[in-house]
């Protein structure tokens, strides 16, 4: 089985077996490695943004966050190590975790210009002018459900506003979520963390109640890394971005998967806390071209 043997824990295996895709998952899992190949290193150095997922060491809450910089601020500095210049502001809910060596962290570098993404999970270590991640596993994902955005610019003078904290979603925040075409999901497993991407046409995330979100889990690579984590540990973090204004909405809570006919899956997320930061990011991206893989309608 190679890498696939140690890649999946009981949560992922439970879902793979329930849906009859264990053999496919083992096949796909052979593409997961521990090292950073030259093409992956080159990809990282072109990115102006990196998304991270981890658990706060004090509260245990799981959050997704993001850092930005001039391309080259993320770079491979060894066969299994990336360094990141800078970091989140002190007000970010992951600021403490990202300053604590040994913290398990998941990262995803996503390039909307090319519909490419790369995931690297590992543990934090110290680095000059920022932090580093010592990789446990590195792999790429297919471009499914990833919206294309042709260009971006860095808006000079854009400064973050004060974070607004809450325990649910306001009506305006619910509308922001319902209009999103992309979000990022942080989850944890024993000794590890993961950050992944979810995308669809606007409306693919529903807000049935002020403290609840729901979305269909579209067919993917059959690995069930994120949902496998949630099967074993429901703690999760969500990150929504405004790709034009730089606003971020970070949510922490718990997520569970419900199964319907034919293996259809719906994930329901209960919000425990929220952090809403205006103009948190200096990037302004062009309007999206929606992925041809996106289902036309969500139920």
Report the half-sphere exposure of 298 (CA within 13 A, side-chain side): 20
Question: What is the average pLDDT across 110-125?
Answer: 95
For the chain, how many structural domains are there in total?
A: 1
* CB neighbour burial string for 207-240, b if at least 16 within 10 angstroms, e if fewer: beeebbbbbbbbebbbbbbbbbbbbebbbbbbbb
Q: Does residue 110 fall inside a structural domain?
A: yes
Residue 54, in any domain of the structure: yes
Q: List the CATH number of the domain containing 173.
A: 2.30.110.10
Q: Is residue 4 part of a domain?
A: no
Assigned domain for 291 exists: no
The reported pTM is: 0.92
Is residue 211 in a domain?
yes
Answer whether residue 295 is part of any domain.
Answer: no
Residue 191 included in any domain: yes
Q: What is the average pLDDT across 119-129?
A: 93
251-267 tens-digit pLDDT: 999 999 998 887 788 99
Q: Across all residues in the chain, what is the average pLDDT? A: 90
- Cα(177)–Cα(161) distance, integer angstroms: 19
pLDDT in tens, 30-80: 667 778 999 999 999 999 999 999 999 999 999 999 999 999 999 999 999
pLDDT in tens, 201-234: 999 999 999 899 999 988 766 667 788 889 889 9
In a domain, 296, yes or no: no
């Amino acid at each position: 089985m190679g890498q696939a043997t140690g890649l999946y824990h009981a949560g992922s295996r439970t879902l793979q077996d329930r849906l009859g895709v264990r053999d496919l998952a083992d096949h796909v899992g052979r593409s997961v490695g521990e090292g950073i190949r030259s093409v992956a290193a080159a990809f990282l150095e072109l990115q102006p943004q990196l998304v991270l997922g981890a658990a706060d060491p004090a509260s245990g809450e799981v959050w997704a966050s993001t850092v930005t910089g001039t391309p080259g601020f993320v770079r491979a500095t060894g066969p299994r190590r990336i360094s990141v210049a800078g970091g989140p502001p002190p007000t970010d809910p992951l600021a403490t975790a990202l300053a604590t060596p040994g913290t398990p962290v998941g990262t995803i570098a996503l390039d909307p210009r090319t519909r490419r993404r790369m995931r690297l999970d590992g543990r934090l270590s110290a680095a000059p002018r920022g932090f580093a991640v010592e990789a446990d596993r590195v792999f790429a994902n297919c471009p499914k459900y990833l919206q294309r955005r042709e260009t971006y610019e860095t808006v000079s003078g854009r400064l973050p506003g004060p974070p607004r904290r809450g325990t649910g979603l306001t009506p305006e925040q619910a509308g922001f979520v319902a209009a999103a075409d992309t979000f990022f999901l942080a989850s944890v497993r024993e000794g590890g963390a993961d950050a992944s991407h979810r995308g669809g046409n606007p409306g693919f995330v529903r807000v049935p109640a002020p403290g609840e979100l729901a979305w269909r889990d579209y067919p993917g690579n059959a690995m069930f890394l994120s949902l496998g984590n949630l099967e074993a540990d429901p703690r999760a973090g969500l990150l929504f971005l405004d790709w034009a204004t730089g606003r971020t909405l970070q949510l922490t809570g718990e997520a569970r998967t419900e199964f319907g006919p034919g293996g259809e899956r719906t994930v329901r997320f209960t919000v425990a806390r929220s952090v809403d930061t205006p103009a948190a990011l200096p990037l302004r991206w062009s309007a999206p071209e929606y992925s041809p893989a996106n289902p036309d309608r969500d139920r």
